[in-house]
Amino acid sequence: MEDQIFDIIIVGGGIVGAATFYRIQQHHPELKIALLEKENRLAAHQTGHNSGVLHSGLYYKPGSLKAKNCVQGRKDLVAFAKENHIPHDVCGKVVVATEQSELPYLEKIYNTGLQNGLTGIEKINSAQIKEREPYCEGIAGLFVPDTGIIDFVKATEKMAEIAVATQPESKLMLSTEAQDFNKEGDLNIVKTDKGIFKSRFLIFCGGLQADRLARKAHAKVKEQVVGFRGDYYELTPEAKHKVKNLIYPVPNPAFPFLGVHFTRMTSGDIECGPNAVFTFKREGYGKTDFNFRDTIDALGYRGTWRLFFNNMTFGINEYRRAFSKKRFLKTLQRLIPSLTMEDIHPGRSGVRAMLLSADGDTRDDFRIEFRDTSIHVLNAPSPAATASLAIGDNIREMAERQFGI
């Protein structure tokens, strides 16, 4: 397998990498493209460990990349799911205020949703909340019909499958870790654990490893990726009837997360979560997982400590909840007071990548940059999975402009 030459090599087989592969191959069927993924399956990390929500675009600053790509990407992904029989359901969600202090921010996100072009969004009162979610208690809320659920893993696999079928010389290479990058004339040399590959151009969609891959490819990145684990609980079969679709709290604007929510999955299971705690391993899904390099990188970075200090109370509460079923339940009971300890059991976990500046600021918007003969997706937090096809189109357009493909 040595010395295979491609037009483009894409590094990273999450949904953004697969969508990029799909979009470029769709528009340029003549190109030979390789998608490299170090795991033995696609969507092994952030894509396969998120809550499976098709986000509407409710929360994101109007005009931002997140807002534009989420709204367009959702429409594209729903159309893709329909065409390719990917499990999904545009079922809508309720956002619920439980305290008077949350009402101003509920109003703000309502107006943001309107500015971002959401259709059918409506304010609802406590009685209307119970019409949609009979076990949920709140003083006011929003119904957001554009929100839904989807199997992101199956969508990722289908995108890659279609791309490979489009061009027989394009390849999906699993269990192939990109380890080093150099130049040889006009070609990029990619050293992997399965041999050497060459390409005219590189596109990096590395998620949790985005900053490290960029530096290996000789791109300067001031910020650093820091991982935050999110733990989920599941409702027992006896309690699943208490959630019909999706129930979200009003997010606290002081923190960079949406808060613990209820999600009906495409399987019919109901997940509750996630919380958000610093993880000592970027790709670690257990509460005690540890990686020395990841820990040293994160705790040796000033931005991590600034984020801790800026969100001290929030962070302590999240850690307490991570190790206490009782505390987690108490948070869930804010929305569904009738839940009991017997109604929930521990579920899976995920790790999200946050690009942090040295002053502890989360680089909240999507960030995609061009360097020499490569494109780097440096920051693709939620709603990147929902927005993946739109992001793939953005990268395709950048590649056409910068690479001349």
pLDDT digits (tens, 9 = 90+) for 157-196: 999 999 999 999 999 999 999 999 999 999 999 999 999 9
Query: 179 with 11: CB under 8 angstroms?
Result: no
What pLDDT, on the 0 to 100 scale, is given for residue 111? Answer: 97
Retrieve residue 180's tokens: 């080093």
- Determine the pLDDT at residue 205: 98
- Residue range 62-114, pLDDT digits in tens: 999 999 999 999 999 999 999 999 999 999 999 999 999 999 999 999 999 99
Environment class of residue 187 by beta-carbon count within 10 Å: exposed (0-12), middle (13-18) or buried (19+)? middle
Which ranges of 33-189 does DSSP label H, i.e. alpha helix?
65-84, 103-115, 126-132, 152-166
Q: What is the dihedral of CA 103, 104, 108, 114, to 10 degrees?
A: 50
Q: What is the C-alpha separation between 318 and 223, in angstroms, rounded?
A: 24
Q: Tell me how far apart the alpha carbons of residues 30 and 38 are, in angstroms, rounded to a whole number.
A: 26
pLDDT in tens, 110-119: 999 999 999 9
Of 205 and 256, the structure prediction assigns the larger pLDDT to 205
Q: What was the pLDDT predicted at 95?
A: 98
**What is the token pair recorded at 318?**
């999240």
Least confident of 286-290, 310-314, 343-347, 376-380: 310-314
pLDDT band at 1 (very low <50, low <70, confident <90, very high): very low
Q: Is the pLDDT of residue 237 over 80?
A: yes
- Asked, as a colleague might, if the bond just before 274 is cis with ω within 30 of 0, I would say yes
At 256, the pLDDT band (50, 70, 90 cuts) reads: low
If you average pLDDT over every residue of the chain, what do you get?
95
- Helix (H) / strand (E) element for 351: namely strand 344-356
Whether 216 shows a pLDDT value over 70: the answer reads: yes
Indicate whether 257 pLDDT > 60. yes
Whole-number pLDDT of residue 88: 98
Res 321: pLDDT: 82
Domains of the chain: 4-47+153-223+364-403 (3.50.50.60), 93-145 (no CATH), 224-362 (3.30.9)
Secondary structure tally for the chain: helices H, strands E: 11, 20
pLDDT at 34 over 50: yes
What's the pLDDT score for residue 296?
Answer: 97
Tell me, what amino acid is at 248? Y
**CA separation for the pair 387, 158 (Å, rounded):** 16
φ, ψ of residue 216 in degrees (nearest 5): -60, -30
Q: What distance lies between CA 11 and its chain's CA centroid?
A: 17
pLDDT in tens, 340-375: 999 999 999 999 999 999 998 886 799 999 999 999
Backbone angles phi, psi at 181, to 5 degrees: -135, 135
Neighbours of 36 (CB within 10 A): 22
Name, in order, each residue with C-beta under 8 angstroms of 79's C-beta and a sequence gap of 6 or more: none
Residue 142, exposed/middle/buried by CB under 10 A (0-12, 13-18, 19+)?
A: buried
Question: Which whole number is the average pLDDT over 241-270?
Answer: 90
pLDDT of residue 313: 78
* E strand or H helix that includes residue 17: helix 15-27
pTM, rounded to two decimals: 0.95
Q: What single-letter amino acid sits at 263?
A: T
Say if residue 252's pLDDT is above 90: no
CB atoms within 10 A of CB 193: 10
Per cent of the chain over pLDDT 90 is: 90
Q: Which residue has the tokens 């001349």?
A: 404
